[in-house]
Amino acid sequence: MGLKLARTAMIARLPKTSYQDFNRFTNAEDLDAHMKEFLMASKDQFTQVKNKIFASALLSILFCVFALPVQVYAKDIPNTLPNLNTFIETVTDGNASTLRGVYVSNVMALSIVQQPNGYPGYVSTGENVATQFGIAAEVGNVGLLAHNTHAGIYFSNIKQGDVIVLVYGDGHIESFMAQSIQRYQALSPLSPYSEFKNQETQITSTAEQLFNNVYRGEYHLTLQTCIENNGNASWGRLFIVATPVENESIVRDGKALNDSGLFVNKRHF
């Protein structure tokens, strides 16, 4: 099977009624005063509900919880990792708009599932499965989550400069390069309101500030898992932030190269 480049930047999004829809209706000139008052009240309720959902998702994702204590062991890079072409064939299902796999040469080959509607804190417990973070898609980016007791253990093997290939259901791909690897300590690991200390800069952030730092901004990919320390599986958080590799011409075993040997990626808008 030949590789197919990404034809468009497609991000699986959660079904929603947008805030812009309310603005469009409430600003319509032909609405009477009573209808506008009703819609304005509805917009306020909608905003409150959306903020609550966002806060719930934020706290759920930044708060690592496991039903049972689990000892975390380092996992070696698999010796039988498939090449990219073979991996693409195993995860495709014909759905061009849905992420189905993530591949890093000599590091990992994981299938991707989406969070069920209404469960923003869901993370798959599959051994080789990452979960697409729905709220990241809502803010225009791609987020992948995995428990550090399962597939997330491979995230720590990703190095700066590695190319991360996303595979969509129809087999087309989108490539990113790992630019930033950020490690944070949760200052109150068992609290969903914990602040987080960057282990490199020693700067402390709130959960909201951390979310904005790693999930908002220009289009990018973020991989997230927890960091184990001294038997505490939720001691900290690991974030790998990767940016699109432009003008892709060739992808070979997860490495995107142009004629001059530079990493590249092609992304159509």
What is residue 50's predicted lDDT score, i.e. its pLDDT? 59
Tokens of 120: 């923003």
- Taking a C-beta distance cutoff of 8 angstroms, is the pair 54, 216 a contact? no
Mean pLDDT: which of 76-80, 139-143, 234-238 is highest? 139-143
Residues in a beta bridge with 168: 99
- Taking a C-beta distance cutoff of 8 angstroms, is the pair 121, 60 a contact? yes
> What global pTM score does this model have?
0.72
What is residue 208's predicted lDDT score, i.e. its pLDDT? 87
Q: What is the pLDDT of residues 25-53, one digit of tens each?
A: 445 454 555 544 544 555 555 555 556 55
Superfamily for the 4-9+56-257 domain: Sortase (2.40.260.10)
Q: Strands 142-145 and 221-229, how do they pair? A: parallel
- How is residue 85 annotated by DSSP? H
What is residue 51's predicted lDDT score, i.e. its pLDDT? 60
Closest C-alpha among 40, 266, 64, 55 to residue 175 = 266
Q: Tell me the CA distances in angstroms from 40 to 16, 21, 52, one per residue in order.
A: 18, 12, 18
Q: What is the pLDDT of residues 10-20, one digit of tens each?
A: 444 443 444 44
d(CA 263, CA 269): 20
Q: Long-range contact list for 6-10, CB < 8 A, 24+ apart? A: 6/168, 6/172, 6/173, 6/174, 6/248, 6/266, 6/267, 6/268, 7/96, 7/172, 7/268, 8/268, 8/269, 9/174, 9/219, 9/267, 9/268, 9/269, 10/96, 10/97, 10/168
- Does residue 77 carry a pLDDT above 90? no
Name the more confident of 73 and 84: 84
d(CA 2, CA 172): 10
Distance, C-alpha 254 to centroid of its chain: 19
Domain range summary for the chain, segments of one domain joined by +: 4-9+56-257
Q: What is the pLDDT of residues 109-155, one digit of tens each?
A: 999 999 998 888 889 999 899 999 999 999 999 999 999 989 999 99
What is residue 36's predicted lDDT score, i.e. its pLDDT? 47
What is residue 166's predicted lDDT score, i.e. its pLDDT? 97
